[in-house]
Amino acid sequence: MTRFYILREDAAATAQYNGHFDATHKWRLPGVQCHTCGATWGSAGQQYPGVDLSQLPERTQLVSPWPVAVPEFERLRELVRPLAPSGVGLLPGAQFGPLEGPASGKFGPFTAEGDILWLVQRDALERLQVEGVKGLLGCRTELRFRKKDPPDILELQIEPHGRLHPDCLPPDMPPQCATCGRLGFSLPDEPILESASLPTDLNLFRVGDFATVVIGTERFKDAVHQLELPGITFREIPTR
Ligand SMILES: [Zn+2]
């Protein structure tokens, strides 16, 4: 049976590099202010760098993170939906298009921001694909380096799939808000994945109901180690 691992940035490895970037995605869905559950929120980990909204006439309405009421959020989400991967939730705060902003220094094969957003050097990505790692989608970035011969840095579009097993969630968990879709829980200390919900054709994905958690399969981990690509630590997450 396949094992699954949570990806974290390997601080010791990335300290050998000094790559730095200060960038945001070109477009976004706003946060929401919900009168049903009373929450004002936006999600993290909903990043779709390969979704190009440049031809959308309403794209200028998709740049502000400031929360809006639920009907306005839903209107904006429906503008994006035809251009987004099918079946993904598109939560408040979802981000689209290339990362834009200044960058400097030397980048290793992998660079993470908060373990949520993952950058990869193009040649590292290609070597993983040659090894047969499935479901890796490298998207162009618009990082601006001031030096000559800037590195070819891509952002991985890691899509949400599967979910946590109910056994690892608190029994008194409040239900999902029917109006805004908010799930009011924090990541358990000992998360468990629900086996039956997991994708079988991807070696890298986010947890569908907890998109800040990035999961690599054993196949992904073995390929990263075999190619000696530094930058990631792997912590096994059980399945049930
Ligand atoms: Zn709500």
Q: What's the average pLDDT block by block, 10 residues per block, for the chain (240 residues)? A: 95 86 96 95 94 97 96 97 92 97 95 95 98 97 93 97 94 88 89 97 95 97 97 97
**Residue 198 C-alpha to ligand 1 middle, in angstroms?**
27
User: How close is the Cα of 149 to the center of ligand 1, in Å?
Assistant: 48
Distance 176 CA to ligand 1 centre (A): 8
Q: How many CB atoms lie within 10 A of CB 40?
A: 13
**Could you give the CA distance from residue 233 to residue 236 in angstroms, rounded to a whole number?**
10
Residue 215, Cα to own-chain centre: how many angstroms?
Answer: 10
The pLDDT score that the predictor gives to residue 202 is 96
How far apart (Å, rounded) are the C-alpha atoms in residues 20 and 58? Answer: 32
Q: What is the pTM of this model?
A: 0.95
Measured in Å, residue 33 CA sits from the centre of ligand 1 at: 8
Extract the tokens encoding 76: 């904006």
- Per-residue model confidence (pLDDT) at position 41: 95
Q: From the CA of 227, how far away is ligand 1's center (Å)?
A: 45
pLDDT of residue 147: 87
What is the bridge-based pairing of β-strands 32-33 and 68-69?
A: parallel
How many Å apart are CA 94 and CA 47, to the nearest integer?
Answer: 6
**What does the block give as tokens for 118?**
């993952």
Residues around ion ligand 1, judged by CB within 5 A, are: 34, 36-37, 177, 179-180, 182
Confidence at residue 39, expressed as pLDDT on a 0 to 100 scale: 95
- Distance between Cα 30 and ligand 1 center (Å): 14
* SS3 per-residue string spanning the chain: CCCEEEEEECHHHHCCCCCEECCEEEEECCCEECCCCCCEECCCCCEECCCCCCCCCCHHHCCCCCCEEHHHHHHHHHHHHHHCCCCCCCCCCCEEEEEEEEEECCCCCEEEECCCEEEEEHHHHHHHHHCCCCCCCEEECEEEECCCCCCCEEEECCCEECCECHHHCCCCCCCCCCCCCCCCCCCCCCCCECHHHCCCCCCEEEECCEEEEEEEEHHHHHHHHHCCCCCEEEEEECEC
What separation in Å is there between the alpha carbon of 52 and the centre of ligand 1?
A: 28
What's the 32 CA to ligand 1 centre distance in angstroms? 8
The neighbour count for residue 87, using CB atoms within 10 Å, is: 9
Give me ligand 1 centre to Cα 39, in Å: 6
| pLDDT of the residue at 12 | 87
pLDDT of residue 89: 83
74 CA distance to ligand 1 middle (Å): 13
How many residues are recorded in the chain?
Answer: 240
